[in-house]
Chain A
Amino acid sequence: MQVTARRFKKNAHGALQDDNIQKAFSKVKGGFPIARAKAAGELPEFDALRDQARDLKNHILDNLDYYLEYFEEQVLLQGGKVHWCSSYADARAAVLEICRAAEAKTVTKGKSMITEEMALNDHLAANGIEPIETDLGEYIIQLAHEYPSHIIAPALHKTKDQVSDLFHQHHEKYGFSERLTDPQALVNEARRILRDKYVAADVGITGANFLIAETGSTVIVTNEGNGDLTQSLPKTHIAVSSIEKVVPTLEDASLFLRLLARSATGQEMSVYTTFSTGPRRTDDIDGPANFHVVLVDSGRSDLLGTNKQDLLRCLKCGACMNHCPVYQAVGGHSYGWVYPGPIGAALNPHMVGLEEARHLPSASTFCGRCEEVCPVRIPLPKIMRHWREEAFQAQVTPKPERWGIGLWAFFAKRPALYRPLTRFAARSLKIMGGRKGVIRRLPLLKGWTDVRDFPAPQGKTFMEQWKKQQRESR
């Protein structure tokens, strides 16, 4: 996809003035975080599971070559095929070749971030194969020729009215001429149209939340059931997955499954967790006759052994963005590449280059909530800090930021000073905010405060508030 991370400030500026975006993203904090907190609260073991999940991911990454080879062996044993792809170009070519062999005219697609990364849809379309997104949110943004603004709720930025217009405009050719406005009616209409698409498709493409080495299975997690129709009706199922998704055993998948949906939406389990293993068996009366796994590296292996390796633990749950004040203010598209929010700010510089994404690691209020809620405890603020230091050293940041970071890095390297300092900063911002509690101008965030009042911190850092809350809830 086209990278616009370089224009972060401009993107953000636009988003801050867009009422629809403001409305949509400010709604996030009333939904997902509350549901997550409730789900976490109902599971006494939640935090202990997070510790284990972090450790298990680290173990997997330390032995990634072994588990990938084991996984491959099991897929082959079950009658499937594995395609190793170093780059997006390799992966696009592999998928296209499978589609051509299947003489595919249309392919249905389940939601998958890796295929967004590799811009698979454009590639298929350019080669005469029609890709049809089936996750409702992905379907909506495909009609609008846009890309996801949230990793689990891709059409978060779209209003109901915009969806009404899109469906009205695109569904006429299927004989639906009325402009619908009721969400249930809109869903029903999409359901009916996509039903025929599932049945007609020659190939179904899904992503994978997990790859199970023990059994050679790929696992998808959805709420709609679209991924299941995508993978069970066409003759060929392709699961596209990045390499770090492998887990050793079913028991290990269970550990992550207990955290994934709770962290994402506050559900204990998503509605559908589906394990696909090889092609249909000899006597089966449904299921795909061909099963392919496309394994994509494209830069992941280069994170191993670096001070950003922890990023590879990511489960793509979206909790970090759901809890991020910057994300809620500037929306998903400002980040200018596939991953928005804190994970995007920390990962995109690696994926698209620091020069291109240099603003992203500064898109933070240092509140630390992303790390607090991350199910695999990725130290996102620390990784953003590494990037800022690297940007500073490479002199790719503009001058005023260099000054700011320079000063900040000085304190950051001295933790004893840093904590009191942030406490001090939070309190002085409160004073700056005066009685109204808003700040009209921040010296280093001019582009931002030009169009928006910066809410003054409540005079306590998040860590302080959190600890207080924890104490009180005991």
Chain B
Amino acid sequence: MMSSRSRILGRIRHNLGRGPLSAEKAAELKTRIEEHRPNLVPKRTEISPAAQVDLFQAKAEALGATVTRLSSLDAVPEAVSRYLSDHNLATKIKMSPEAALDALPFDQTPMLDITRGAATAEDDVSLTPAFAGIAETGTLCLASGPDTPSTLNFLPENHIVLLRRSQIIGTMEESWARLRAKYGAGNLPRTLNLISGPSRTADIEQTLIMGAHGPRRLHILIVDDAEKD
């Protein structure tokens, strides 16, 4: 019996009125993939790096995220603490087990109860690093890995993201370039999340309600790092 696979491929070719592609045509398509040329990219982000940061913030805020700018990484623990108290949240966070987060001076905030690891249903607040921030639409790009479990992006009701200024880029295409540089062409981490604002639904009489299944609140800490000025 013919397998479904050959039946489907056979039918596609038959209905397109041809056999398998010629070696030449196949090579051309392979090159097309390997070159991964951008299509039309909106001009919106052809602006200075500083303006891109502003655009990112404006777009993220318009999506319902909140943004705090910090002048250095040392200010992060204090900013996290303040966020929790501002929103009457318990002083408890689940954090990505990432070296750079571990290196933050959390000794300044001894009240803060920090655990590390993947999210569980009990976690209310998470703190994770970002891979990139896309200014075009105020979108965060988060990549999963051993030290960045993706469940932290979804299970807790409150998600705090640490984004370095140097990670803010113009477009999605620039994040693809950075991902290829880190993971190798043709590879992606297991889960890549593009996140544009907090979770929402309009499924009950088209009324917009925040916090459907993912985080109800998304807070972004943009930290100035010297590399981009």
Contacts and interface: CB of A to CB of B under 8 A. Distances in A.
Interface of A: 24, 27-28, 31, 43-45, 48-49, 52, 56, 62-70, 74, 78, 84-86, 90, 134-137, 140, 153-156, 158-160, 163, 183-184, 186-188, 191, 194-196, 199, 213-215, 217, 223-226, 228-229, 231-233, 243, 248-252, 254-255, 257-258, 265, 267-281, 283-287, 295, 297, 301-306
29 contacts: A28-B206, A44-B42, A49-B39, A65-B21, A153-B203, A153-B206, A187-B204, A187-B211, A188-B211, A195-B155, A224-B201, A228-B154, A228-B213, A248-B33, A250-B176, A254-B38, A254-B41, A265-B202, A271-B198, A271-B199, A271-B214, A275-B191, A276-B191, A277-B187, A277-B188, A284-B144, A286-B118, A287-B190, A287-B191
Kindly name the residue among B149, B154, B155 whose own CB sees the greatest number of chain A CB atoms within 10 A: B154
A160 B205 contact: yes
B137 to A, nearest CB: 5
Contacts of B179: 250
Contact of A187 (B39, B153, B212): B212
B100 interface: no
B29 A301 contact: no
A268 B8 contact: no
Contact of A196 (B59, B121, B144): B121
Contacts of A194: 213
Interface string B104-147: 00000000000001110100000000000000110100001110
B77 to A, nearest CB: 23
Interface residues of B, number: 81
A80 B37 CA distance: 27
A286 B151 contact: yes
Contacts of B212: 136, 187, 191, 223-226
Given A27-B206, A277-B192, A251 B199 contact: no
B39 A251 contact: yes
Nearest to A231: B191
Report, nearest first, the 8 A-B pairs whose CB atoms are least far apart.
A225-B214, A224-B212, A137-B203, A283-B146, A304-B15, A286-B118, A84-B5, A273-B194
Contact of B4 (A90, A186, A268, A280): A90
A47 B119 CA distance: 42
A280 B151 CA distance: 12
Contacts of B206: 27-28, 31, 153, 156
Contacts of A232: 150-151, 154, 191
A135 B194 contact: no
Contacts of A153: 202-203, 206
Given A187-B212, A232-B154, A302 B15 contact: yes
Contact of B155 (A67, A229, A248, A304): A229
B199 A225 contact: yes
Contact of A251 (B30, B38, B195): B38
Interface in B35-60: 36-44, 59
B90 interface: no
Contacts of A301: 8, 11-12, 15
A272 B195 contact: yes
A272 B194 contact: yes
B190 A281 contact: yes
A457 to B, nearest CB: 27
B176 A258 contact: no
Given A65-B13, A226-B212, 12 more contacts: A49-B42, A136-B203, A224-B201, A232-B150, A251-B36, A251-B39, A268-B196, A269-B194, A271-B63, A277-B189, A277-B191, A280-B190
Contacts of A49: 39-40, 42
A268 B137 contact: yes
B91 interface: no
Nearest to B30: A70
A49 B15 CA distance: 28
B170 interface: no
A66 B202 CA distance: 39
Contacts of B117: 285
A135 B203 contact: yes
A229 B118 CA distance: 13
A181 to B, nearest CB: 11
B39 A255 contact: yes
Given A64-B12, A248-B32, A86 B209 contact: no
B100 to A, nearest CB: 17
